[in-house]
Structure 1
């Protein structure tokens, strides 16, 4: 029986813009800076303002698509070694979120973990979340943070700080070629 949260029903969104934001944060962290500086925050705010409401929704959908794609890759990687991806990804992710209360207030952690679990079980994170109403302002940073943490997890597994970005870029490029 098909689920209303089946990924084939989900909007893809602006994956390129979402990836650009995640990649920017990954580079910030790997360059030794612990937080986005005023310049990066200003650029992010300028980008959000230039998108308008529909554009912001597209980036939200794109971020959910990234979460889905990252979890599909992680699921395949862990399962190829006889491991359950939920067992290895979710506890680590939740523990990291709990150590970052300014980025992940305790009340959003179950939702962010739910997005990852939805993707791990081959459901659309965005459609799964949509059942509970529109995104709240308080969920914006945690949503981006969840995609960031998954990308970082992939990069650490592969020992390649650009692997997650390249994974998505290659997927987008191959889609453009079809």
Structure 2
């Protein structure tokens, strides 16, 4: 039975821009920096400023698409080992977010966990979230953090610091070929 929150009903958004932001954060962490390189941040800021309000919504949808794609990959990887992705991913994700009170306020954690659970069960995270109203400014950092943590989780389990970025880049390349 099809759900109105299924991914086939969701906008894909600007996945490339969302991936660029997440990849910048991943590289900063792996280089031992707590912040993105100022030049890189200036490029990201310039790019997002050029998008306007509708473009920002597209990046938000793109970030949710990343979360969906990451959770789909994680679900398949866990199923290959007869494990439940929700059981193995959500607790560590929540624990990590709880250790980041400057980026993720405690009241945003249940929403982010819900997004990940929605994606892990095959639902669109952005459509699942929108049933509760519009996104809030306070949810933007937690959303980016959530996507970052999922990408980092994938990179750790594959022992490849670029695997998550490459996974999405290759999927985007295949989509463009069709």
TM-score by structure 2 length? 0.96
In 1, Cα distance between equivalents of 2:105 and 2:114? 15
C-alpha distance after superposition, 1:121-175 (max 9, x if no partner): 0000000001111110011111111000000000000000000000001101111
In 2, Cα distance between equivalents of 1:164 and 1:87? 20
Name which of structure 1's ranges 42-51 and 115-124 shifts more when overlaid on structure 2.
42-51
Which runs of no fewer than 5 residues in structure 2 stay unpaired? none
Which runs of no fewer than 5 residues in structure 1 stay unpaired? none
Give the secondary structure class of the aligned counterpart of 2:24: helix
In 2, Cα distance between equivalents of 1:15 and 1:45? 16
Aligned to 1:149: 149
Q: CA deviation at 1:36?
A: 3.1
Aligned to 2:121: 121
Residue correspondence of structure 1 range 71-110 to structure 2 within 5 A: 71-110=71-110
Residue correspondence of structure 1 range 10-159 to structure 2 within 5 A: 10-36=10-36, 38-159=38-159
Q: CA deviation at 1:2?
A: 1.9
Name which of structure 1's ranges 1-10 and 57-66 shifts more when overlaid on structure 2.
1-10
| Coordinate RMSD, CA, aligned | 1.1
Aligned to 2:160: 160
Q: CA deviation at 1:34?
A: 1.6
C-alpha distance after superposition, 1:64-83 (max 9, x if no partner): 00000000000000110011
Aligned to 1:175: 175
Matched residue pairs, number?
178
TM-score by structure 1 length? 0.96
